[in-house]
Amino acid sequence: MEEFQSLEDIAQKIKDSQKKVTLLFAFNATGKTRLSMEFKNLVNEISDDDETIKHVIYYNAFTEDLFYWDNDLDNDEERKLKINNDSTFISLIKDQGKENEIAEKFRKFTSSKIEPIIDIANGEVSFSLVTGDENSVDNIKVSKGEESIFIWSVFFVLMETVIDELNIDEVDDRSNDEFNPIQYICIDDPISSFDDNNVIDSALELVNLVKTSKSDNGLKFIISTHHALFYNVLHNDFNNANKYVLKKDEDKYLLKSLKNSDSPFGYHLLLIDEIKSAIENNNIKRFHFNLMRNVLEKTAHFLGYDGWKNLITEENREAYIRRINLYSHSNHSALETRELEPHEQQFLIRIFNRFISDYNWRMTDNE
């Protein structure tokens, strides 16, 4: 386990690596998105005439913010997904004529009858439900998951275009020179709103795409996620990648290197390790209740129970269940933002210790 004082230091470590692929698993609120921005700032250059030479294209939460809905509140008819055309991300694909490829990728990822009508030049997308009969509907508003898949489809086609161009050995033979400076593709959690089927399909598509990138074209990939299933697919398919788990510990960052022998990726083990570490370091946060509930859910599923509540064996069982529900899925902003009280921390400790005792977990020391 390596210690780093800043995300910039971790970005430097990734930059110094000669590996084609770097995989990073980290829980939310650890700093994955900020790390992708630190990496961007580290590798981009300023030319002599003060122009930024961009060596990285990236997908993260800021990418999704480039798309926003115009719901036609006056008439409730012409609903469109608007695109911020001022971004470098959009400008790179704007003149490529890739609308049909994006639509095809979206249909493949969703396996639905929803048809995107894309006008990147004017910065807008509309969606139609095409049923082939009188039930077809135009200008629908798609779900958040479908919206995320569409944005990922746009970026995916951009990656395909970049890789295809950089795979051409002779620079003069490439269709244009705008992709020549790109050395890195940085991807942070592209599947935040996907269901499990979409997660697996997207991970496999990404693996296959990365493998089409020639080793001698110099292009490197940094992929970070908090989604265990997505990470697990990547972990199993990229044998020669750098593989890490990133943690935040007070004012420092911890980076644990994973070996191929650590596959399949033991997400439940990582959760238990995270909760144990928080208890030992007196650093219990509200999200640790979410992790504890996740452990209970996965254990209940493995043991064949109908739900996690069957694992609660305390005498005042219903009260414990209500409190776990409250702390792990609270919608009250006051509860979300305030620090945990000592009795709340002790409640998590009791639940965790009882779980470890009841199910005879073999605990190991943190590395």
Domain boundaries of the chain, sorted by first residue: 2-76+142-262, 267-358
Report how far residue 333's alpha carbon sits from residue 269's, in angstroms, rounded to the nearest whole number: 30
Per-residue pLDDT, 216: 85
Average pLDDT over residues 109-133: 88
Per-residue pLDDT, 206: 94
Please determine, looking at this structure, whether the domain spanning 2-76+142-262 carries the CATH number 3.40.50: yes
Cβ pair 281, 66 in contact under 8 A: no
Kindly tell me if the per-residue pLDDT of 311 is higher than 60: yes
Dig out the tokens for 94 from the structure. 């704007």
Cβ pair 185, 56 in contact under 8 A: yes
Per-residue pLDDT, 336: 44
**Which residues on adjacent β-strands are paired with residue 57?**
185
Q: Which of 15-24, 157-166, 236-245, 313-322 has the lowest mean pLDDT?
A: 313-322
Per-residue pLDDT, 323: 85
- CB within 8 A of 110, min separation 6: which ones? 146, 149, 198
pLDDT digits (tens, 9 = 90+) for 3-20: 999 999 999 999 999 899
b/e per residue, 151-190, with b = 16+ CB within 10 A? Answer: bbbbbbbbbebbbebbeeeeeeebeeeebeebbbbbbbbb
Kindly tell me if the per-residue pLDDT of 164 is higher than 90: yes
Dig out the tokens for 109 from the structure. 């990822």
The Cβ of residue 96 has, within 10 Å, a number of other Cβ atoms equal to 18
User: What SS3 state is found at 96?
Assistant: coil
Kindly tell me if the per-residue pLDDT of 332 is higher than 50: no
Angle at 306 (CA atoms; ends 301, 310), nearest 5 degrees: 90
Dig out the tokens for 114 from the structure. 């929803």
The Cβ of residue 339 has, within 10 Å, a number of other Cβ atoms equal to 9
Kindly tell me if the per-residue pLDDT of 160 is higher than 90: yes
- Residue 185 phi/psi, 5-degree rounding, is -120, 120
- CB within 8 A of 48, min separation 6: which ones? none
Average pLDDT over residues 79-84: 91
Identify the residue whose tokens are 């979410």: 290
